[in-house]
Amino acid sequence: MVTPSQISRRRFLINSAIATGSMITTNLLSTRGLAQNSAPGIITSDKMRPQIPYGVASGDITADRAVIWSRCDRPARMILEYDLDYSFRNPQRIIGPAALETSDYTARINLTNLPPNRDIFYRVIFQDLAYTNTYSQEVIGKLRTPPVLKGDLFFAWSGDTAGQGWGINPDWGGMRIYETIRQLNPHFFIHSGDTIYADSPIQAEVRLDDGRIWKNITTEAKSKVAETITEFRGNFIYNLMDENVRRFNAEIPQLVQWDDHETRNNWYPGQMLFEDDRYQVKSVSLLAARAKQAFLEYTPIRIDNEDPERIYRSFNYGTSLDIFMLDQRSYRGPNTPNRQPRMSEETAFLGKEQIRWLKLKLQRSKATWKVIASDMPLGLIVRDGKTDFENLANGDGAALGRELEFADLLRFIKQKNIKNVVWLTADVHYAAAHYYDPNKAQFTDFNPFWEFVAGPMNAGNFGPNKLDNTFGPQVKFQSITPNQKANLPPSDGFQFFGTVKIDGKTELMTVALYNLEGKLLYSVDLVAQV
């Protein structure tokens, strides 16, 4: 175990705050004007204070903005203080929104006008709205704003948390990959979807093939498939019960997107579940609406005032990097054999509006690197039953069905001479590096590009998936062999994440793939085209 003498005071303070859930005492509260009133009728017991059971998180970070998220256990007002100094010598205070029943007591504050390329330390306190002289203890977090011009950038990505019944096993150390990533101290983390598995109940014990027992923490919300808003919220709460996740959230800002398991495996708008007896609610559109509400409540995402349910968005990190976060779930057509010869509402994957937005953003981007965060790989076949396809890939041959939308996007990128586009994704539960080569493709009107796949983070392993040759993907690396046994517990080590480093001077991009323990599996240097 690392001792305080082995790490910096800054790291020690942060780790101490997260481990204890607080660094504040009643005396400190008193000096800050937040002391509990001891007059008759006012609650004075620490146990009766508002509680912050699931810590803090930050997200949607840019050079001058960030979102700070937390949750209380009762109606309370969120109060935030932040400073450039970990000792909070000159903090700025923001009186935030009330956390009420309508948001399941979650709340967020949008920080603006932050200095670029600096560490920001923050602490969250909740004021009890029923006993307004009563305050919670504080929980501390930190983030780092990226440079406004050139500067070194380092971030990580992965996906797929608590899937296939593999939950929080305290005997094994919980969701350990979060701690592995945290120790690398990336500037931010992209969660590429399947942030929860609302369709995957978790049992107390799972007997493994060799006789071992995998033990899970269990909750009522995770005992069945999620249908009510309370059950969807309970899936997010379940992940936050893990101390690795809470510690990670307090130190690493996140850019979060969703995929299918936030609602149900392979879902699409308008789908009906007449043949799935697990569900009393048969409308997937209703399930998805509840799932999206819980997703927006429990992730540190910036809510768009003009379109509060919009998940796709973009972020700039100086002259070196723009990131485009996609939503490949909300606007798609139904899963079909996917062989339509012309584009239509049925073949939609991103949908017309999102495609239009992405083209405009790519064309206007002045950053050297354009990273597209996709919740599904592009050229890997993902089936939905025997005849239908979940992904856009539909088998070898010319572009058809959903592939037509992607072909149009690739053609646009080539025609507009948009350079240095890299795709990052998860979903398939193994790690891979793919190079898309028009010289080996059926559709050839595009410039070559890289796609990198990571995950899962705490779920069963699968793959490798079959490649579709329409866009000429070539496997440069994959972490799973064709004969690898599937759906093993996280303790067997088949959990993966990736990192991206951009040199601030040369703008060389280094993409690396790692396993659960942080062992480097694959790395490639990408030189920016000018």
**Residue 378 has which token pair?**
């592009």
Please write the tens of the pLDDT for every residue from 56-75.
Answer: 999 999 999 999 999 999 99
What is the pLDDT at residue 18?
Answer: 44
Residue 11 has pLDDT above 60, yes or no: no
Span 419-442, mean pLDDT? 98
**What radius of gyration do the chain's Cα atoms show?**
23
**Cα 386–chain centre separation:** 30
Element (H, E) at 201: none
Q: Which residues, in sequence order, are bridge partners of residue 83?
A: 121
Residue 343 has pLDDT above 90, yes or no: yes
Q: Alpha helices, DSSP H only, in 278-323?
A: 284-298
What is the pLDDT at residue 488?
Answer: 97
- Beta strands 449-453 and 119-128: pairing type? unpaired
Q: Which of 39-53, 88-102, 181-195, 424-438 has the lowest mean pLDDT?
A: 39-53
**Residue 82 has which token pair?**
């932040």
Please report which confidence band the pLDDT of residue 46 belongs to, taking 50, 70 and 90 as the band edges.
Answer: confident
**What domains can you pick out in the chain, each with its CATH number?**
4-144 (2.60.40.380), 153-526 (3.60.21.70)
Residue 17 has pLDDT above 60, yes or no: no
Distance CA 431, CA 495 (A): 8
Residue 280 has pLDDT above 50, yes or no: yes
The percent of residues above 90 in pLDDT, for the chain, comes to 90
What is the pLDDT at residue 149?
Answer: 87
- What's the start-to-end Cα distance of the chain, in Å? 47
Distance CA 501, CA 505 (A): 12
Residue 478 has pLDDT above 50, yes or no: yes
Please write the tens of the pLDDT for every residue from 176-192.
Answer: 999 999 999 999 999 99
∠ Cα 87 92 98 (to 5°): 115
Residue 47 has pLDDT above 80, yes or no: no
Residue 173 has pLDDT above 80, yes or no: yes
Span 274-302, mean pLDDT? 98
Q: What are the phi and psi torsion angles at 432 (to 5°)?
A: -160, 160
Q: What is the mean pLDDT of the chain?
A: 92
Residue 41 has pLDDT above 70, yes or no: no
Cβ atoms 146, 504 nearer than 8 A: no
- What are the DSSP E strand ranges found in 290-442? 313-317, 321-325, 369-373, 383-384, 388-389, 421-425, 432-436
Residues 6+ apart with CB under 8 A from 334: 268, 270, 271, 346
